[in-house]
Amino acid sequence: MTRVEALEDGTPRSLLVFGKQSAPIIFVTFSDFECTMQSELEIPSGLENRQIVDLCIWDNKAAFLFDKNAIAVFELTTRTVVFRATYADATNNISNIYFVSEHSQPSAHSSKVAPEAGMLSGFFLMTETKMQVNKNEAEKVSSRTKLLRKLHLVEIQQSEVKVKKNIERRDRLEQVDELTFGSENPKLVDFVVAP
């Protein structure tokens, strides 16, 4: 176990505790005297041995970013996965993930049809970094520096597809916008207050 994260209001005194590997991710609630509940999140197949890169929490949901740009969103009240997708458009590894609520989106996206009840909707802001190995260092001590490359604004898309016998839910992440930094060294900008 290497990380402990508090959950936001809405869940009584709750935490997520996890290590570098995806399994186990433990959901804990506690009272004044003891941990009242400890249960493991159900990791979807194929992600059990992946490394956890980042995490973001909102409402009763937690989005885990795994290596190879895989994302899984857990509903914490049921401790199950409600969304799972891999973001393939990035040219490098995604290292940070942040959930952007639909309410904070500009009007350009508000014209879209409202999602059905129970379907997950919203956007992720993701940071792509390039890991650069310093070749001057000795092989044993190859240091790495992180360079900010791109910010991806990616929309969560869920759709229900009718298959022969049942209805399947398909999850997808689609690029909405992208900010690319031309210079590796961002310049400070002085803001001038209008008279």
Partner 1 sequence: MLSELNLGKSAEIIDFTVVQFRYLVVLLKSAALLVFDCERVLNGHERQVRFMFMQKLELD
Please give the residue ranges that form the binding site for partner 1 (CB under 8 A). Answer: 1-7, 9, 13-15, 17, 24, 26, 28, 30, 32-35, 38, 40
| Residue among 38 and 78 whose Cβ is closer to partner 1 | 38
For partner 1, the closer of residues 13 and 146 by Cβ is: 13
Q: Which is nearer to partner 1, 29 or 105 (CB)?
A: 29
The CA distance from 44 to 169, in Å, is: 15
Compare residues 30 and 58 and give the one whose CB is closer to partner 1.
30
Min CB(42)–partner 1 separation in Å: 13
Q: How far is the CB of 103 from partner 1 (least distance, A)?
A: 23
Least distance in angstroms from the C-beta of 165 to partner 1:
34
Nearest approach in angstroms of CB 7 to partner 1 is 8
Burial 138-162 (b: 16+ CB within 10 A, else e): eeeeeeeeeeebbbbbbbbbbeeee
Contact 81, 64 (CB under 8 A): no
Query: Is 61 within 8 Å of 73 (Cβ atoms)?
Result: yes
Rounded distance, CA 21 to CA 83, Å? 19
N-term to C-term CA, the chain: 54
Query: To the nearest whole angstrom, how small is the minimum distance from the Cβ of residue 184 to partner 1?
Result: 31
Judge whether 93 and 131 are in contact, CB under 8 Å: yes
Give 7 or 65: the residue with its C-beta nearer to partner 1. Answer: 7
